[in-house]
A and B are shown apart, each in its own frame.
Chain A
Amino acid sequence: NAGVTQTPKFQVLKTGQSMTLQCAQDMNHEYMSWYRQDPGMGLRLIHYSVGAGITDQGEVPNGYNVSRSTTEDFPLRLLSAAPSQTSVYFCASRQDGGKYNEQFFGPGTRLTVL
């Protein structure tokens, strides 16, 4: 199992550009989430999904879109990047009711918006 994979690992954008952060998991997990990590702020939830076709907003959803067409993939879209979106982004997955509800994380994407 590859676990949770994220691409790219690093990205630099200009203000106003759009891009998609990719996330995939091969553990057949129903639950997937996107977090952003900023210094002194911990990990804040952007969007999450409890299964294919179902998504919901987290604490900081503005400026981000998600979709969940398959169990495996959960891409995060930035429609018009802003400097405030400079952050490290983590994708995570878990199987509800699985062993201790353990959540698995991808390696993260460091995004810089100039």
Chain B
Amino acid sequence: AQTVTQSQPEMSVQEAETVTLSCTYDTSESDYYLFWYKQPPSRQMILVIRQEAYKQQNATENRFSVNFQKAAKSFSLKISDSQLGDAAMYFCAYLSGNTPLVFGKGTRLSVIA
């Protein structure tokens, strides 16, 4: 079964600085999708960014970007110019074919003013 590992239960960053959240996954598939979800205190799950495994180019969405290393099965999230509103739980997730979305255990990000 596919697994997703987030090795940093908690992280903190100064406002306006850059932070990187780590994620590794285990799969034998060659075609899959990877996601980062944000969960603020409101509890709502918000899609931050996605990456298709067949694309070599790293995905970017405004201040959010990923470092996708397919051979290393690594998928880190970089948040630039951190803002107070970025404070949340962040979940890395994996999807392949017709299977359910698999989540890591999450990283709680604090932003220090």
Contact = CB atoms under 8 A, between A and B. Distances in A.
User: SS class of chain A's interface: helix, strand, loop or mixed?
Assistant: strand
A31 B95 CA distance: 13
User: SS class of chain B's interface: helix, strand, loop or mixed?
Assistant: loop
Interface in A16-54: 31, 33, 35, 40-45, 48, 50
Interface residues on A, range: 20 to 34
Contact of A40 (B9, B44, B45, B47): B9
B103 A101 contact: no
B100 A48 contact: yes
A50 B106 contact: no
B33, B45, B91, B102: most-surrounded residue (chain A CB, <10 A): B45
Given A42-B106, A96-B98, 19 more contacts: A35-B103, A40-B9, A40-B105, A41-B105, A42-B91, A42-B103, A43-B91, A43-B103, A48-B100, A58-B100, A88-B43, A92-B101, A94-B101, A100-B50, A101-B33, A101-B95, A102-B50, A103-B35, A103-B95
Interface of B: 6, 9, 33, 35, 43-45, 47, 50, 52, 91, 95, 98, 100-106
